[in-house]
Structure 1
Amino acid sequence: MRCALVGFQRQSSVAFFQRTYAAVMRPDSFASDSHTFSPPPPEPVVTSEERLRILLESVQDYAIYLLDTDGCIISWNSGAEKIKGYAAQEVLGQHFSMFYPPDDVAKGTPEAELATAARTGRVEDEGWRVRKDGTMFWANVVITAVYASGDDGRRLRGFAKVTRDMTERKRLRELEAASQHMNEFLATLAHELRNPLAPVSNALSVMMLEPLVSPTLRQCRDMIDRQISHLTRLVDDLLDAGRVTTRKVALRLEPVELSDIVVRAIEMIRPHVVSRQQAIEVHVPQTGIVVNGDGTRLVQVVQGLLNNASKFSEHGGRIGIEIDKVGTFARVRVSDDGCGIDAVAIDSIFDLFVQADNRFERKESGLGIGLTLCRWLVEMHGGSVEASSEGLGRGATFTVRLPLFAVQDAANDEGMTGQTRERNDLGTLAVLVVDDNCDSADSMAMLLRMKGHRVQVAYSGAQALDAAERAERIDVALIDIAMPGADGFAVLRQLKRTKALSGACFAAMTGFGQESDVARSLGEGFDQHLTKPVQLQLLDTLLARAEERRRQS
């Protein structure tokens, strides 16, 4: 009894026996009249060429096909059909230039690529290609020369062409580039907006120091103050949006008491709430709730939610803020009885530059950045924020959850109390203001003079050096960074070599206020970085520092 197995290769005797035994024991293999059995069907021999064909056909993400030496298509895989839209019978024998845009064909790009591949062995390119339906896609193309060896040496047999659809990747690259350009634009825009804001803010501070002001002028002054504060917040929001999207915001984490965060946020939002005759109801537990967070950024979050509640509530409305614990999380809830949120807008209300449709009619609609910043900052702390509303006209509630800090109590930092020195404790200082913006320089000088200091103004680096050479002593130098000719860093280096400023405090005074800008200013040798419009508290801190340095010398 014999059994022939066609194509049997490198199988063990055990496997051969098992297959033979199985064939013998199959009832249907016996002939009814001869007691003989039929052998199993032979296994086909799979050649290496067939394996390669199967492999290429299984690839769906790449168009892989062969060209002859003239560039005509001689093979076509399923990936090519999927990407380009042509069946094999539609393209075999056609020149591969059919996939190129007309402009590239007119320039001879297909022939040039084949010539380069034949000369160097390989060519890679990215560009637009055309599908059967006429649509364009961005392709990564690799053309490799195929050679055969013979008696007459290596001979070009054709080309292997591999194409990949990179449209989505190109779109993502363009989005990243656009995001980078947007952030650069926002930084420049903020700087350009801060420059005119600085002299207006300085002039307003001067008006605040005037003791005898008529009721009409006081009303106008307070109105300007509110609008300047609003403009400054908008500029800061633009900058923060750019910082967060480029991950330039570094959190300074430490144990913070949430009730302190709430108190600071309410204090900052109080003028806006009072002007709208609104009331804030605060509910905090008797025991402290501590989280590991950046106090400044958490105040920004709570202030943003309170500001949002105030803006979208009517005059005389009520705002509630409550903090408590839920499991391992601290919870902050800000609620209002305002215009509410449509259900279709809940999911998108935290998106950048997006607001609920019904809120576009509000007078203080803003830029649609505040809630986005809140979400980003909360998520950077490992928390979450969500909005809920029962519908239009029924108010809204925003809930923030933050991980609890893994300690029972947080020590109070008593050292922070009473550190701010009053202006009356300061002596008269000699101050040099360097700024090519005349209004900004003059208004700062006016403010400093009303504080009792002696001020010299220079509108360029050259004028600053001349003033330094003529002065006996200068205690403080406020230097603008972006000046024509010599920038603020060059002016700083030159002023530090003069005798009059040997013990001076130097402050960069600029519209650029990102963390990288502050780091560069301090790295270049400035003692402090002041972002325009300069906050009076920071200015007083600098003056107090200069006074202390002068006393020690």
Structure 2
Amino acid sequence: MRSNGGTAADGLADALFEEAGAGLCLVSASGKVLRANREWLRVTGHLEGEALGREVAELLPWDRALSRALDEPLSAGERRELPRRPRRVNGREVWWEGRVTGVALEGGTGRLLALRDVTAEAVPGPFRDAGARYRRLFDELREHVFVYTVVRDGAGLVIDWILADANHQALALLGAPLERVAGRRASELFGAAALAEQLAASREVMATGRGLTFERRFAWDGRHYLTSLFPLDHWNLVAAGIDTTERVAAEEALRAEDRRKSEFLAMLSHELRNPLAPMRTAVAVLERAAPGAPEASRARAAITRQTEHLARLVDDLLDVTRIAHGKIRLRTERLDLAALVRCTADDHRDLLAASGVALRVTGAVEPLPILGDRTRLEQVVGNLLANAGKFTRRGGNVTVTLGRERDRAVFSVADDGEGIDPELVPRLFAPFVQADDGLDRPRGGLGLGLYLVRSLVELHGGSVAVRSGGSGRGAEFTVGLPLVEEARAPEPTRDPLSGKGPRRVLVIEDNPDAAEMLRDLLAGAAHEVEVAPDGRQGVARARALRPDLVLCDIGLPVMDGYEVARTLRGDPDLSATLLVALSGYAMPDDVAKAAQAGFDRHLAKPVSLSELGAVLAAAARSV
């Protein structure tokens, strides 16, 4: 603080006062600070603006020796020495020595207080070592730790903090070394608005002497911190905390995942009940209607449609489980992606037209050779077309575009429908995510289609991206898959069940409908087929028939499929018979268990024609 003196002598006195090596403070006869230099402010830990006009006893209430020295009567020029002793300044121990000198001032005899910081020479060696150890410990803490001196107003209310010390974590948070931030107000460092809540908490801490711990989002940097405030003494406060942003985000993600699972279970219940209701009604109609009557035909058609819908729901759920556990196995072959996409689009054309949505396929007409699983890629295209149709209003359009981009075959499915909320885009490919349809859920579905699209495309080494202009501006999904060299023209197709001639086949299946359908299918391809409804009868028929091929269910009554296989494998007359397990359990463990029982092959239900054809071809014809 400088005086307003105007003479050269006054200027010299000001300079000497400000630049003195000791801390100097001029005190009025009433004990109030008239002037203090920078060193005095540094030694006592105060700011220039808050010291002027205040009593020294108020600024340094804990230094009773100094207060007594100031209160003692002194004449002008008379001195009192201040003994060397430790004081607490900004939460750390500081050693001072100095003197108080009487000074003639207008209105009485004032005091000139001179202080010198002798901490470095006064603290004994062992204590200096302890300080170094403390400093290392302080700086190595995981938590950020700030030590503040509180600033109080005239009523004693805490209105700000002054930074006295900080460890490495705290300084990293501020992005500055200690020498640049020490002595600055917290409101200056963090902003008054960001500090308001913690400042209010510090008033309670300093008033009660008890610490507080709380977790809040700090407006200064937008991150979450678990913070503890506790007092060191009347003037000093510690704020220690740890960044919990990642933990808070992880907890919120878990809560969101839990909400999505709960929503999914409710949605699954809704979606399963929807097809079951018309199926139950259709069964009641069939019980009452005459065979061949129009209402019976409509009931059968309804059951067929709803059964297919249920099968798709179950297939999606199973696919999600397989993907989550890495159990999906692609049956890759050389494919023309352009032909596959066009064919799948044609299959969906009538379905989209029934909803008043026009479908157009454009782009590359030349082959786009890739290596992929036909069924899974048809599923990808079908899911994207179904998704586009679901969110496109009557009179809208869906466009499929084919092309090449460097070494990738690319197709896109674009619509001019409802568009995608930008907030939904980042999690659009997560399982069970859907736009909010409300209670009526007019669009249906489990929210698995796009998750399966992304997962299946990535299993093929490809990528999928989405683009939307926002609400009401449609959406475009683009899939890219690696191109391969052109394949030779495929051989003419033939009936996969014809094999290498007729075979004797025994079907062991306890489900009458499944057994009958399989018998009719194989008999239609000129094979000799017999059916056994349980394991025991199956073994007897096998010994009598000596079939080339046995198709055996696993979950059989009387004797299960594994026991059937072990029994037949123990019969030398059936050593040439090919044993094939049919099962709805198709995990690797199930396949291994079937092989251990003696089965040659394992086919997962429902069995495709190509799979049946392969085992028929592998079965040796008995002579």
- Do they superpose with TM above 0.5? yes
1:59 to 120, 140, 145: 140
- Provide the C-alpha distance between the structure 2 equivalents of 1:243 and 1:277, rounded to a whole number of angstroms: 35
1:432 to 507, 519, 528: 507
Report the CA distance between 1:334 and its aligned residue: 0.5
Give the number of the structure whose residues are more often strand, by fraction.
2
- Provide the C-alpha distance between the structure 2 equivalents of 1:328 and 1:447, rounded to a whole number of angstroms: 45
2:586 maps to 1:505 = no
> What is aligned with 2:323?
244
Q: Is the 8 A contact 2:507 2:531 kept in 1?
A: yes
Cα deviation code 1:218-237 (max 9, x no counterpart):
43333322222221121121
2:568 maps to 1:495 = yes
Change in Cα spacing, 1:315 to 1:431, as seen in structure 2 (3 Å) is farther
> What is aligned with 2:604?
531
SS where residue 61 of structure 1 aligns? coil
Report the CA distance between 1:446 and its aligned residue: 2.2
Structure 2 counterpart of 1:389, one-letter code: S
Q: Is the 8 A contact 1:334 1:398 kept in 2?
A: yes
Report the CA distance between 1:304 and its aligned residue: 1.3
- Provide the C-alpha distance between the structure 2 equivalents of 1:269 and 1:523, rounded to a whole number of angstroms: 43
SS where residue 411 of structure 2 aligns? strand
> What is aligned with 1:457?
533
Unpaired runs of 5+ residues, structure 2, are 1-119, 145-165, 171-201, 206-211, 217-243, 524-528
Cα deviation code 1:375-422 (max 9, x no counterpart):
2233344443233334545543222234x43x6x4113514x414335
CA RMSD of aligned residues (A): 5.4
Report the CA distance between 1:133 and its aligned residue: 5.8
Change in Cα spacing, 1:344 to 1:447, as seen in structure 2 (3 Å) is same
Structure 1 counterpart of 2:516, one-letter code: M
Q: Is the 8 A contact 1:468 1:501 kept in 2?
A: no
Change in Cα spacing, 1:502 to 1:362, as seen in structure 2 (3 Å) is same
Change in Cα spacing, 1:55 to 1:248, as seen in structure 2 (3 Å) is farther
SS where residue 455 of structure 1 aligns? strand
Structure 2 counterpart of 1:309, one-letter code: A
Tell which structure's C-alpha radius of gyration is larger.
2
Structure 2 counterpart of 1:231, one-letter code: L
Structure 1 counterpart of 2:581, one-letter code: A
Q: Is the 8 A contact 1:249 1:515 kept in 2?
A: no
SS where residue 311 of structure 2 aligns? helix
Cα deviation code 1:202-222 (max 9, x no counterpart):
xx9xx9xxxx95554443333
- Provide the C-alpha distance between the structure 1 equivalents of 2:560 and 2:131, rounded to a whole number of angstroms: 71
SS where residue 513 of structure 2 aligns? helix
Report the CA distance between 1:55 and its aligned residue: 3.4
2:490 maps to 1:414 = yes
Greater relative contact order (Cα < 8 A, sep 6+): 1
Q: Is the 8 A contact 1:259 1:284 kept in 2?
A: no
Change in Cα spacing, 1:484 to 1:371, as seen in structure 2 (3 Å) is same
Residue pairs, 1:33-432, within 5 angstroms: 52-61=133-142, 215-251=294-330, 256-266=335-345, 269=348, 272-273=351-352, 276=355, 278-291=357-370, 293-314=372-393, 318-358=397-437, 361-402=440-481, 404-405=482-483, 409-412=485-488, 414-415=490-491, 417-421=492-496, 427=502, 429-432=504-507
Q: Is the 8 A contact 1:475 1:503 kept in 2?
A: yes
Q: Percent identity?
A: 33
Structure 2 counterpart of 1:248, one-letter code: K
Which deviates more, 280-289 or 512-521? Answer: 512-521
> What is aligned with 1:445?
515
Cα deviation code 1:452-482 (max 9, x no counterpart):
4321110xx4x25653576332344333335
TM-score by length of 1: 0.56
- Provide the C-alpha distance between the structure 2 equivalents of 1:42 and 1:227, rounded to a whole number of angstroms: 92
- Provide the C-alpha distance between the structure 2 equivalents of 1:295 and 1:477, rounded to a whole number of angstroms: 28
SS where residue 413 of structure 2 aligns? strand
SS where residue 57 of structure 1 aligns? helix
Change in Cα spacing, 1:310 to 1:516, as seen in structure 2 (3 Å) is farther
Cα deviation code 1:142-167 (max 9, x no counterpart):
xxxxxxxxxxxxxxxxxxxxxxx9x9
- Provide the C-alpha distance between the structure 1 equivalents of 2:449 and 2:544, rounded to a whole number of angstroms: 47
Change in Cα spacing, 1:401 to 1:467, as seen in structure 2 (3 Å) is same
- Provide the C-alpha distance between the structure 2 equivalents of 1:526 and 1:168, rounded to a whole number of angstroms: 51
- Provide the C-alpha distance between the structure 1 equivalents of 2:454 and 2:353, rounded to a whole number of angstroms: 26
- Provide the C-alpha distance between the structure 2 equivalents of 1:523 and 1:266, rounded to a whole number of angstroms: 43
Change in Cα spacing, 1:54 to 1:492, as seen in structure 2 (3 Å) is farther
Change in Cα spacing, 1:413 to 1:485, as seen in structure 2 (3 Å) is farther
- Provide the C-alpha distance between the structure 1 equivalents of 2:371 and 2:520, rounded to a whole number of angstroms: 42
SS where residue 431 of structure 1 aligns? strand
